[in-house]
Structure 1
């Protein structure tokens, strides 16, 4: 299964205080996703609205930054990637954004909330 993750939705569903250091919160999420991939073998692509500083790299998780700027830029990038998938029914989109969830379902993908995925990360 491929997980397309709305990165900042999952960050915001985590421990409080993430707003004080968004770059650190993004790095911590990538580390959690790496552990998840290593333990499950699932594929994960996390999409962020902007590039963190320093730039994140991962051998296990695909880290993507929205191509454009502005509100919902990450959501549009997730939809673009989902449209490019040859088998969207094998994809699960992680988001708490209603518009993105509806768009993903319309394209044939499954959807889980950021809170649900956070609980999944904690269980693995």
Structure 2
């Protein structure tokens, strides 16, 4: 399963001062995803790939073992997620976001959508 995390949306779902350091907040999310491993979503398996899509000031965040980071260079993270699914989708994708517009776009491509609270991470 390909698990695509809408970084800006998930970071923004917790009012913890993320707006003061967007890159730092995205890095903390990346690290929490990596620490959760295959159990980042209920029913996760060792074959799952986690992709964190970042944008804006968070584009400097780099991948770590267990989490691939895709930077939306000069475009929206939503557009990058849609393009990622078009390029790499196999029919077994989950997008983590609370963005209704993005939800509609990715479900039209066959992806499932869960909200940020579905992530099994510690922040």
- TM-score by length of structure 1 reads 0.81
Decide whether the 8 Å contact of 1:37 with 1:43 is kept in 2.
Answer: no
Confirm whether residue 92 of structure 1 aligns to residue 91 of structure 2: no
Consecutive unaligned residues in structure 1, runs of 5 or more: none
Deviation at 1:15, TM superposition (A): 4.9
Correspondence for 1:48 among 49, 54, 60: 54
Deviation at 1:18, TM superposition (A): 1.3
Decide whether the 8 Å contact of 1:51 with 1:65 is kept in 2.
Answer: no
RMSD: 2.0
Relative to 1, partners in 2 of residues 1:96 and 1:55: Cα closer, same or farther, differing over 3 Å? closer
Decide whether the 8 Å contact of 2:5 with 2:97 is kept in 1.
Answer: yes
Decide whether the 8 Å contact of 2:10 with 2:97 is kept in 1.
Answer: yes
3-state secondary structure, aligned to 1:52: helix
Decide whether the 8 Å contact of 1:4 with 1:44 is kept in 2.
Answer: yes
Decide whether the 8 Å contact of 2:95 with 2:113 is kept in 1.
Answer: yes
Corresponding pairs, count: 116
Q: Counterpart in 2 of 1:8?
A: 8
Deviation at 1:17, TM superposition (A): 1.3
Q: What CA distance in whole angstroms lies between the structure 2 residues aligned with 1:38 and 1:48? A: 21
Relative to 1, partners in 2 of residues 1:104 and 1:38: Cα closer, same or farther, differing over 3 Å? closer
Relative to 1, partners in 2 of residues 1:29 and 1:86: Cα closer, same or farther, differing over 3 Å? closer
Deviations 1:44-100 (A, max 9, x none): 00001135386423122110110323xxx100000000011241x200011111111
Q: Counterpart in 1 of 2:27?
A: 27
Farther off after superposition, 103-112 or 56-65: 56-65
